Structure 1
Amino acid sequence: MEQWSKETIAAFRKTLLTWYDENKRDLPWRHDHDPYHVWVSEIMLQQTQVNTVIPYYERFMSMFPTINDLAAAKPEQLLKAWEGLGYYSRARNLQRAAREIVNDRHGEWPTTAAGLQELTGIGPYTAGAIASIAFGEPVAAVDGNAFRVFGRLLMIDADITKPATRQLFAETIDRIIDPQRPGDFNQAIMDLGSSYMTVKNPDVEHSPVKMFDRSYETGHVLDYPVKTAKPRPVPVDYVALVIHTPAGYLMTKRPSTGLLANLWTFPLVKVSDLLKDDEQETDLMDVDIVSRAEQAFETETEIPVSLALIGGRAVTHTFTHLKWQIRLVSAELSTVPDISLFAGEIVAESAFDQYPMPVVQQKLWRRWQAASKK
């Protein structure tokens, strides 16, 4: 790993911050240093691109302009505001932390990275970002951009998928960060990592800090940061039941814990749950899957249905560790059924905007709309 002298560190700070002052992105959460604004934006930016986040952030702030508004929001309202961003535990943790600040801390924010990490859902990176930007603490905010920028600048050989490596980067950056402008320093690294020092096709030749980039000098830019490959998401097959009645569609609310908690979808049946002893999923023909899904639904709800398979490729949706592959089956009921045993509601299409629905449900709905027009 390259080690910088005090003179090199001073020169790097000046070069980086001069570039940032002249080229920083105009983002809505950068218009002030309010910790609430910084916090919400950083949570939204986890696993999500900046251009996608901007309209969500602006809508979220119009709905919950203060941390008190967020703490008092109804869960359904919160999830609806987050709809489409995915990783919904982020939204639930936001509200938990908001309530901790409002109720347990009487509205007082922790002002250090260590204190911020005591709040629900705030890890080392988010704590570093809030502490440096909102409170001026000279502490690193180590995210993917920081791994990439400093991994290349200093040719750090440590594997960033290992927990201990984050601490190594944090300690390294803490020695380099500008103590007078730590927030701007961290945001400059974010901008650098999303422009000249991207994952693929970096433009290092025009990078404002190329003179400090050891990997560029040695021709090894794409070898950094060092990262072992993630395992592929495990495929899981489902059947989605699109059951339409004169009053609307049968919809179920996901459990309060686990994937897509408290969000609404068409009833989903895992194909593996339809197997008999010693059967494999590959043993089932489409007709077997449809008939067993039909039987399972009728047994559970006492609602008789005649399901038909909707053709075409399965709808796919990938989570971090799972890849859902969903085939649609449909039924049209001429009367409104008794849903006393059905774990859900009948929802009119006109009322969909009142129910928080995940992206995978939106994909299923688009597939159903396309199929029903044929």
Structure 2
Amino acid sequence: MQETLVDWFIKNQRDLPWRQNYTPYQIWISEVMLQQTQMERGIIYFKRWLLAFPDIQSLAQADESRVLKLWEGLGYYSRARNLHRCARILVEEFQGRIPDDITILQRLPGIGPYTAGAIASIAYNRDAPVVDGNVGRVFARLFNIDRKLNDPACKKELWRLAADLLPPGRARVFNQGLMEFGALICTPKNPRCDNCSLMGFCVAHKLGLTAQLPVPNKGPSTISIEMATGVLCHQGRFFIQQRKNRDVWGGLWEFPGGEREKNEQPAETVVREFMEETGLVVKVDQKITTVTHHYTRYRVTLHGYTCTLADRQNISTPILNAAQDCGWVCLQALDEYAFPAGHRQLIEFIKKMQ
């Protein structure tokens, strides 16, 4: 089975930018970037990232704000912050070299078993197994694993299979072959069994169970949140604040706002949140739009409003109850800052209103 898979991969692998020379830095960045990101989108961001940060040293020397700006739109911003932290550790403690040992790799920020295995096997061709969603699905069908793949015992079995099947000295092509096969042939829906090189090894196919496997994981239920935010403009400049680092969007910029309380109108939320977060008294002028976006398990409905100062106030020293920094910037300059998806959508609407 291993030789069949390797032969398939060599003949059918996609032409991806990080496969040109398998540098450890590019493998690391691509693996982290492609988590929770579709391939086509990931390639665009990967190429843009390399133009800004071509190596570990340039990433380590960058300001976090620039790192977050390059990551804007990918979500899960802890990935970007961990890449930045990790690059600085690699420069300070490893002379700018990414280790090839999975135990050492997993001590670094943001690198778990999968990413460590991917770096070791793909960049260095070390005999390290990998298990991601694609690999788990391929194994579930090949070996008729009729348990939820996120079950701890099942996860352990999948990693054991990945290690047992790994052909010594061929980890780079074998591991990539497994993941590529899951992405292109053994897909979640409508798998291409008629074009499957591993059909003769597939127990699920022999039993007619391909469509039933893998057993669906029960993910966390979606939580809906309704929020309102105010776009405050004064003398041609917009008020923005930078979230504290410990927050879910730590380091990103935003317009003040928050979750709507019970029996509260969204416009009232804006007035209250401005007072609580900044000490500024605002008057809501008009509705910009309502946008919907998702992060982790949350579905956010965000109401956006334009605002003005209610009266003469000292705007030079706003209170920072919910932020680490703030500023007044012109409309064009907003593009220089990294915003959460919902706030970025509001900015695009504001541009159309001008």
The TM-score normalised by the length of structure 1 is: 0.87
CA RMSD of aligned residues (A): 2.2
Q: Report how far residue 329 of structure 1 moved.
A: 2.0
Q: Report how far residue 299 of structure 1 moved.
A: 6.2
**Aligned residue in 2 for 1:316:** 292
Deviation string 1:203-260 (CA, Å, 9 cap, x unpaired) is 1121221221111221111222223321222112211101222232111111111211
The one of 68, 91, 104 aligned to 2:93: 104
Q: Report how far residue 156 of structure 1 moved.
A: 1.4
Asked if the contact 1:148–1:199 (Cα under 8 Å) also holds between the matched residues in 2, the reply is: yes
| Counterparts in 2 of 1:337 and 1:220: CA distance versus 1, 3 Å | farther
Q: Tell me how far apart the structure 2 counterparts of residues 247 and 357 of structure 1 sit (CA, whole Å).
A: 20
Asked if the contact 1:247–1:336 (Cα under 8 Å) also holds between the matched residues in 2, the reply is: no
Deviation string 1:34-76 (CA, Å, 9 cap, x unpaired) is 1111000000000001100111111111111111111111111
Q: Tell me how far apart the structure 2 counterparts of residues 206 and 342 of structure 1 sit (CA, whole Å).
A: 62
Q: Tell me how far apart the structure 1 counterparts of residues 94 and 78 of structure 2 sit (CA, whole Å).
A: 22
Where structure 1 has 5 or more consecutive residues not aligned to the other structure, the ranges are: 1-11, 273-280
Matched, 1:363 2:348: no
Matched, 1:95 2:95: no
Where structure 2 has 5 or more consecutive residues not aligned to the other structure, the ranges are: 321-325
Q: Tell me how far apart the structure 1 counterparts of residues 213 and 103 of structure 2 sit (CA, whole Å).
A: 29
The one of 199, 207, 220 aligned to 1:210: 199
| Counterparts in 2 of 1:311 and 1:62: CA distance versus 1, 3 Å | closer
Matched, 1:56 2:38: no
Asked if the contact 2:238–2:328 (Cα under 8 Å) also holds between the matched residues in 1, the reply is: yes
Q: Tell me how far apart the structure 1 counterparts of residues 115 and 278 of structure 2 sit (CA, whole Å).
A: 45
Superposition map of 1:111-150 within 5 A: 111-150=100-139
The TM-score normalised by the length of structure 2 is: 0.91
Q: Tell me how far apart the structure 1 counterparts of residues 277 and 204 of structure 2 sit (CA, whole Å).
A: 61
**Aligned residue in 1 for 2:214:** 225
Q: Report how far residue 335 of structure 1 moved.
A: 8.9
The share of aligned pairs that are identical, in percent, is 34
Please identify, of 189-198 and 302-311, the stretch whose mean Cα deviation from structure 2 is larger: 302-311
Q: Report how far residue 91 of structure 1 moved.
A: 0.8
Q: Tell me how far apart the structure 1 counterparts of residues 278 and 71 of structure 2 sit (CA, whole Å).
A: 31
Please identify, of 296-305 and 194-203, the stretch whose mean Cα deviation from structure 2 is larger: 296-305
Q: Tell me how far apart the structure 1 counterparts of residues 33 and 243 of structure 2 sit (CA, whole Å).
A: 22
Please identify, of 179-188 and 334-343, the stretch whose mean Cα deviation from structure 2 is larger: 334-343
**Aligned residue in 2 for 1:162:** 151
Deviation string 1:162-196 (CA, Å, 9 cap, x unpaired) is 23322211111211122231111111111111111
**Aligned residue in 2 for 1:276:** none
SS at match of 1:356: coil
Q: Tell me how far apart the structure 2 counterparts of residues 227 and 174 of structure 1 sit (CA, whole Å).
A: 24
The one of 35, 41, 46 aligned to 1:46: 35
**Aligned residue in 2 for 1:294:** 271
Give the number of equivalent residue pairs.
348
Deviation string 1:12-50 (CA, Å, 9 cap, x unpaired) is 122111111111100000111211110000000000011
Matched, 1:198 2:175: no
The one of 307, 314, 319 aligned to 2:284: 307
Q: Report how far residue 133 of structure 1 moved.
A: 1.0
In the alignment, residue 284 of structure 2 is paired with which amino acid?
Answer: L
SS at match of 1:317: strand
Q: Tell me how far apart the structure 2 counterparts of residues 41 and 107 of structure 1 sit (CA, whole Å).
A: 18
Q: Tell me how far apart the structure 2 counterparts of residues 172 and 18 of structure 1 sit (CA, whole Å).
A: 20
Q: Report how far residue 106 of structure 1 moved.
A: 2.5
Q: Tell me how far apart the structure 2 counterparts of residues 90 and 97 of structure 1 sit (CA, whole Å).
A: 10
In the alignment, residue 79 of structure 1 is paired with which amino acid?
Answer: L
Q: Tell me how far apart the structure 1 counterparts of residues 111 and 276 of structure 2 sit (CA, whole Å).
A: 44
SS at match of 1:194: helix
| Counterparts in 2 of 1:219 and 1:367: CA distance versus 1, 3 Å | farther
Q: Report how far residue 296 of structure 1 moved.
A: 4.6
**Aligned residue in 1 for 2:68:** 79
| Counterparts in 2 of 1:218 and 1:249: CA distance versus 1, 3 Å | same
| Counterparts in 2 of 1:95 and 1:302: CA distance versus 1, 3 Å | closer
| Counterparts in 2 of 1:349 and 1:221: CA distance versus 1, 3 Å | same
Q: Report how far residue 366 of structure 1 moved.
A: 3.3
Q: Tell me how far apart the structure 2 counterparts of residues 94 and 162 of structure 1 sit (CA, whole Å).
A: 28
SS at match of 1:293: helix
